Chain A
Amino acid sequence: MADNGYIKATAGQTFRVTYAVRRTTAAATHIVVDNATTSTVRTFTDEKVGDAEDSFKLTAGKYAFVWTVLALAKTASVVVQIEVDGSVRYRKDIAYSSSGVTPWGTATFDVREA
């Protein structure tokens, strides 16, 4: 699993992101930006996040993925996972109470032509 945040993929593959946020009120948002071609921005925001997921087909280009959880309660726990064609390529499993900072993370997808 390549999970250092720089992920190579191929156009046509399915990108799927899942969130599981616990023990907080939270506004979780993920933004995926296709900078190279269509500048597509996908967002997800919910004040009361439990479990959520989104998926779409990748096209060629470079994607920046950024997520954060606005957790006022320090007891939040967060699991963020990205799969490409069912293979886990990025996973963050954070107990907010032990990190002491607002959870956030980022990844880059370099998607080449099929």
Chain B
Amino acid sequence: MSSHGQLSRFVLAPALFLCAYPMMSRATDCDMDGFYKRALSMALHGSNANAADKQIDPPTASGASAALVDSPQQTRLIAAALQQGLVNRNDTGAFTLSLAPFAWVNAAAAPGYTDTQSTYDRYNVARRLTGSLTLGGNGDPIDADGDGKPDDPADAKNLTDNFAIEMQYRFIGSRDRRDYAIPADLQGAAANFMAAMAHSKVRERFVDPVFDELNGKNLDDAACTALAKQVSLSPDFSAVLKADENLSTLIAQRENQIDTSWVWSLAATAVERKSYLGPDKYSIALRGLKGIEAQSYHKFNLELGRVNSLAPGQPNIDTAKLAYEYSRPVLTGIDLGGGQPTFSAALFAERYRNAPSPAPSSVATLGVKWVFPISKGISVPLSISWANHTALLSDKDEVFGHVGINLDLDQLSKL
């Protein structure tokens, strides 16, 4: 069996298992709960954790990524990212496998093991450590035939020809809502809501007499709507509505606080590969993330690295990279099945020391990326980038693109 086949089984088997994780659902009946919820015209907020700023692309250093800037917030479960070159189709693609300890705890433990909060809390440190192993994918545009011009990046002939490993530790912040306790003001608002419900006179005047007659049965739809309308217009219900609104507002504010907080991570990356794909590379990076509003964010990378020379006698090249990305949802009202598409614009500048002539001493890259979520946890990234030089090879500018499929098993496991 080829290594490609082995990896497919290794990655896809747990994916299929997680996809099959049971999803509970329940139709809304017009029992007492259903009736009150119909009467409350406003629904309480409960949006998803903001997943758009979490990185499910392979690391940028892998050469297999549509991303230009790395995120300090990465997917925790086993992630499989299969991405292929837009122009040069790669038969093997690239596989990214999570090295996050918490991913393996989840994979090894019985289903539901970390569902309870006390168990989840025991892995606070483990959840801060994430990492990935990327095999295969594209190399760098090197001058393999010695004609002084850069060749198109080669595709890895075997997955093991291109090997990128990255480990990252998140030392400040989190977007995981399970990392945050419920604040006192929210608990107070919930208590007020429940007290308002318990003491509401509409219960005595309108609701109890109706449900007493039902002898355990639910209201039919028309009667439910009529009673809900009657109650919603009652002045006695105003305290419940007000408490409900206050609770909804505070929950939304708390969610927004979490989604717009800073997240910072330190990362170390190593890329080792066969020489036809390019030189080995090593780097350390500081990565920051700042949410602006739900689904919009700024991302920052500061990276110092070393590129090993491919030529005998040539010194290694030292690199310094500064990168920035802005992302936001676009195409309001468009949902292909997994949510609203997002648009990102990124700029990164890289300086080199000891770069051999005629290589430039710096490269600037401008990129744009669209991500189309086609279903929950599955998205199609499409990126186009422009660089003022082909890195380390010539003073020519270059346009390149990526398209692929990303699987976010954090999301798939929640289905």
Enumerate chain A interface residues (CB-CB to B < 8 A): 1-6, 21-27, 29-31, 33, 35, 43, 45, 47-51, 62, 64-68, 70-75, 77, 92-102, 104-108, 110
Contact, CB under 8 Å: B194 / A108: no
Chain A residue, CB-CB nearest to B216: A2
Cβ-based interface call for B312 (8 A)? no
- B249-263 vs A, CB cutoff 8 Å, 1 = contact: the mask equals 001001100100000
Which of chain B's residues have a CB closer than 8 A to the CB of A43?
Answer: 191
Task: Choose among A24, A33, A92, A108 the residue that contacts B208 (Cβ–Cβ < 8 A).
Answer: A108
Which of chain A's residues have a CB closer than 8 A to the CB of B48?
Answer: 74
Q: Pull 30 A–B residue pairs with CB atoms less than 8 Å apart, ordered by A.
A: A4-B211, A4-B214, A21-B117, A22-B112, A23-B178, A27-B182, A27-B187, A29-B194, A31-B194, A48-B118, A66-B193, A66-B194, A70-B186, A72-B180, A73-B176, A74-B47, A75-B414, A93-B26, A95-B23, A95-B25, A100-B46, A101-B43, A101-B44, A102-B46, A102-B247, A106-B32, A106-B33, A106-B197, A107-B32, A108-B211
Contact, CB under 8 Å: B191 / A29: yes
Chain B residue, CB-CB nearest to A22: B115
Contact, CB under 8 Å: B190 / A70: yes
CA distance A77 to B141 in the complex (A): 50
Contact, CB under 8 Å: A6 / B214: yes
Say which size band chain B's interface belongs to: 35 or more
Known: A25-B178, A31-B194. A106 touches B36 (CB 8 A): yes
Tell me what chain B mostly uses at the interface: helix, strand, loop, or mixed.
helix
Q: Min CB distance, B21 to chain A, in Å?
A: 11
Which of chain B's residues have a CB closer than 8 A to the CB of A105?
Answer: 32-33
Which of chain B's residues have a CB closer than 8 A to the CB of A50?
Answer: 116-118
Cβ-based interface call for B199 (8 A)? yes
Contact, CB under 8 Å: A24 / B177: yes
Q: Min CB distance, A40 to chain B, in Å?
A: 12
Chain B residue, CB-CB nearest to A50: B116
Contact, CB under 8 Å: B187 / A2: no
Cβ-based interface call for B4 (8 A)? no
Known: A72-B251, A97-B414. A1 touches B216 (CB 8 A): yes
Cβ-based interface call for B45 (8 A)? yes
Cβ-based interface call for B212 (8 A)? yes
Task: Choose among B23, B177, B181, B194 the residue that contacts A73 (Cβ–Cβ < 8 A).
Answer: B177
Known: A70-B182, A97-B23. A5 touches B254 (CB 8 A): no
Given contacts A22-B116, A72-B254, A106-B32, 6 further A-B contacts (CB under 8 A): A22-B112, A70-B186, A72-B177, A73-B176, A101-B37, A108-B203
Which of chain B's residues have a CB closer than 8 A to the CB of A74?
Answer: 46-49
Which of chain B's residues have a CB closer than 8 A to the CB of A75?
Answer: 414
Known: A24-B177, A72-B255. A64 touches B197 (CB 8 A): yes
Which of chain A's residues have a CB closer than 8 A to the CB of B3?
Answer: none
Contact, CB under 8 Å: B193 / A25: no
Q: Nearest 3 CB-CB pairs, A to B?
A: A5-B32, A2-B216, A6-B211
Q: Min CB distance, A86 to chain B, in Å?
A: 18
Contact, CB under 8 Å: B177 / A25: yes
Chain B CB within 10 Å — which of A5, A49, A64, A68 has the most? A5
Known: A66-B198, A67-B194, A106-B32. A5 touches B181 (CB 8 A): no
Task: Choose among A21, A51, A68, A71 the residue that contacts B193 (Cβ–Cβ < 8 A).
Answer: A68
Cβ-based interface call for B349 (8 A)? no
Cβ-based interface call for B24 (8 A)? yes
Chain A residue, CB-CB nearest to B179: A25
CA distance A48 to B198 in the complex (A): 24
Which of chain B's residues have a CB closer than 8 A to the CB of A95?
Answer: 23-26
Which of chain A's residues have a CB closer than 8 A to the CB of B335?
Answer: none
Contact, CB under 8 Å: B31 / A29: no
CA distance A2 to B315 in the complex (A): 81
Contact, CB under 8 Å: B197 / A3: no
Residues of chain B from 7 to 41 with CB closer than 8 A to chain A in the complex? 23-26, 31-33, 36-37
Contact, CB under 8 Å: A94 / B255: no
Contact, CB under 8 Å: B182 / A72: yes
CA distance A25 to B118 in the complex (A): 9
Chain A residue, CB-CB nearest to B32: A5
Contact, CB under 8 Å: B182 / A6: no
CA distance A27 to B45 in the complex (A): 16
Task: Choose among B117, B186, B212, B414 the residue that contacts A110 (Cβ–Cβ < 8 A).
Answer: B212
Contact, CB under 8 Å: B117 / A48: yes
Which of chain B's residues have a CB closer than 8 A to the CB of A5?
Answer: 31-33, 211
Chain B residue, CB-CB nearest to A4: B31
Contact, CB under 8 Å: A64 / B198: yes
CA distance A68 to B197 in the complex (A): 11
Cβ-based interface call for B218 (8 A)? yes
Chain A residue, CB-CB nearest to B22: A95
Cβ-based interface call for B6 (8 A)? no
CA distance A29 to B117 in the complex (A): 16
